[in-house]
Structure 1
């Protein structure tokens, strides 16, 4: 049987976590596999599928063997309000434990669904946080590959901290050197993700430990990154762990034209998208600041106000995306009572809710991206070829800042010093002033040789990213290796 025929006998099942930052990259990845003529099924809930259904319909019309399969989310059984089927829809992060309970309750429905699939699943690619999938895969005797959602820098850093535990010997604000990293990486304990820096609420710690334990049992790890971005970290992580790792990103580049980018997540009306694009068209190349702190933004209203005043002080055009999350009502009150939008209306757009970020970042008018350093946003900024202004908030975001500002040197930090723990936002303080924001933006958008060098490196890595997923690019070839590995495991090459 030749490889093309073997590919047609494969059936990859993708099971994403129900949260935008986890869901959308796995949908993009499924599209890339299906374009290689591997049958791809995306399993999620009906409400979650609405946002990307049009995108998948477009893939099907083009001939891709891809489909969406549904399971019902057990909101009531887990003590969640009806309709809370995604992390970003929870009315309070105190309900995150209930959300995890709901995901575990999906074990039997998932097993029943996958058992009946024809062709039978050859491989399951699941978000590492979807713990019950491990038991489903074991019972069905199907190889399970985890989608980590981060990068090899993160994987290696966590591995080395877990092994050497150097962070345990320092106080919260004291810097320490992370051992075994290809670059000299210094962090503070206060900047580490929850597994090493859990804050005062420890109820999620057992869950984090379980995620790490279950991840070790996986057949391998698929990573939304590309080797040219972090080649030393890919090699070193594989060397010290022996884990199978496939870098197949940036998967957002599966959305090639403006229609793909606009349909990637259907949360905006076409009128809103058209307005944003026309507004961007009205500005010179590389002149607009784009600001978004992610779908789970945890910055306090006081901190966001400093950000807004910093944007105003730059006197540059900007798009500022406010997605609610923590303190939404307070921010809306400030915007209204202080007249911020009225003051900046000639050059600033404030958007509430979701925007087509990949489409915006690909527009030639964008000159810088002020980001929370979630890995999806970081990669999307890199793909746009624009310098990044980094404002990490929680999880692995301080790691990603190191990749941007130190490893590849395509951005600058605003100076955040510590994680804002989920559910403990009220304890956080204003870490970054309006002056910090303004000065950091000028470091990548102003005149001067150093600033132009940052911009040139950003353009260079943007081009590398695009080449990585093209035919014969590093990520394209890694995807081929993964597919052939599953062909071998399933014995299809012997047929």
Structure 2
């Protein structure tokens, strides 16, 4: 059975923080000769990079048009296209993909489907069609272990009924850990725990039903890095858990490569002029958007740090976001020559790979964390949404990252704390531990032999 070639469908949620890890895993599996049908909406498929030649014949891109909904803007097919308060409408439209996905599965007859947390309805659908199912979690093992069992997530047997219950490790974690939310983090997630939205289904329920109805849980993790958390997942799910590695990002060619090369050229020219290991790279991913007050404190903190910096600032979430962020008055004049603020696309992997970059101020999204570790860049952490708080606790616990001190209730922070945190991690002797630890764990994250073994568990289960 080891030589059997499988047909696997991949169906990620409509967020690029989900789509790209799915694409990385799809590439790894396709390299072994299996056929992958990667399913998303037309605009998201069009925004994917050009596939590498060695997998193009084994990886087909399948477009399912997203149904139009009242109040969901035209061409809004990913979370990056809409303000945060409109994402629930995107989930409602995504749920309406069930009939066309059913038709595709019936006609293509795949062996497996890998699906995300949002389409909680895929498990029963695939079972009815005789297709084996994998819930592939782009969230890490500590996050999934902390969130709990399907019954707890679906609300049929909840142990945690108040926000305060999420501020400590749950009772099913049998070892000492600091992995838990801070108060401001869980309060920013309160809407995810409620089904009072236009989709009618909470994120917590989606997670629970997805886990309950799949055959295998695959998780973005490796047993050498967090074996105790993988065991927690197996204990609470009572089904196989398959760690697929950290999925380090690949640099792809692109149809728009010439334009992007021009953009990278001026960025590289600026980075080349800076001293080795001195530049702070600042970016918060495609989901997180700071408040106006937070932008002010970050800007003034960068200024006070005295360090050169390259800041990729997302001033709005899509063209329909009316809350456009602004920099403090006079800031750009005062930092001219020492800092760059980029409000458009930037090649994060290339920037992190430049020798002048000495540290990364990040939201703790796991893809960004992995890319920093790929390039041995120490981490300063400033969380905003979703699993980022739990990721930050893991990084703090392992001394791989340092969180900017914040008010526990509202999450506010000062420009002084930003400046002090950056200098601690990048310059001061006291922060050497963070610079050294990132280098120590690099092999666990980027070792290609580990990544190339990701299909073994699937094939043995298929037998």
In the superposition, the TM-score normalised over structure 1's length comes to 0.83
Provide the rounded CA distance (Å) in 2 between the counterparts of 1:267 and 1:128: 36
TM-superposed CA distance for 1:150, in Å, is 0.7
Q: 2:446 aligns with which of 451, 454, 466?
A: 466
Partner of 1:334: 327
Instruction: Say if 2:47 is the partner of 1:51.
Output: yes
CA deviation string 1:428-481 (max 9, x = no partner): x56110011111111211131x422221110111222112xx22x2x4334322
Shift of 1:393: 1.1
Distance 1:303 1:326, change over 3 A: farther
Classify 1:484/1:275 alpha carbon distance in 2 versus 1 (closer, same or farther; 3 Å). Answer: farther
Q: 1:355 maps to which residue?
A: 346
Partner of 1:380: 371
Kept in 1, the 8 Å contact 2:245–2:454? The answer is no
Query: How far apart, in 2, do the equivalents of 1:266 and 1:193 lie?
Result: 40
1:444 aligns with 2:425: yes
Q: C-alpha displacement at 1:198, in angstroms?
A: 4.0
TM-score (norm 2): 0.88
1:413 paired residue number: 403
Residue of structure 2 aligned with 1:13, choices 9, 13, 18: 9
Residues 189 and 385, structure 2, Cα contact 8 Å, conserved in 1: no
Q: Per the alignment, in what secondary structure is the counterpart of residue 48 of structure 2?
A: helix
Greater per-residue helix proportion: 1
SS in 2 for 1:269: helix
Give the CA deviation at 1:280: 2.3
- Cα 1:344–1:12 change in 2 (3 A) is same
Q: Are positions 1:296 and 2:272 aligned together?
A: no
Distance 1:186 1:46, change over 3 A: closer
Equivalent residue for 1:401, pick from 392, 398, 408: 392
The residue aligned with 1:424 is none
* Equivalent residue in structure 2 for 1:83, among 65, 70, 75: 75
Give the gaps of 5 or more residues in structure 1: 420-428, 489-495
**In structure 1, what is the Cα distance between the partners aligned to 2:163 and 2:194?**
21
1:264-311 CA deviation, whole Å, 9 max, x = no partner?
998973211222233223323322111111212232111111001101
Query: Does the alignment pair 1:39 with 2:31?
Result: no
Instruction: For 1:184 and 1:93, locate their aligned partners in 2 and report how far apart those are by CA, in whole Å.
Output: 31
CA distance in 2, matches of 1:460, 1:264: 36
Q: Report the Cα offset of residue 162 of structure 1.
A: 4.4
1:175, CA displacement in angstroms?
5.5
Tell me what 2:412 maps to.
Answer: 431
1:392–1:222 distance in 2 versus 1, CA, 3 Å? same
**Equivalent pairs, count:** 453
Q: CA–CA distance in 2 between the matches of 1:93 and 1:192? A: 15
Conservation of the 8 A alpha-carbon contact between 1:324 and 1:353 = no
- In 1, the alpha carbon distance for the partners of 2:288 and 2:225 equals 26
CA 63–94 in structure 1, closer or farther in 2 if over 3 Å, else same? closer
RMSD: 3.1
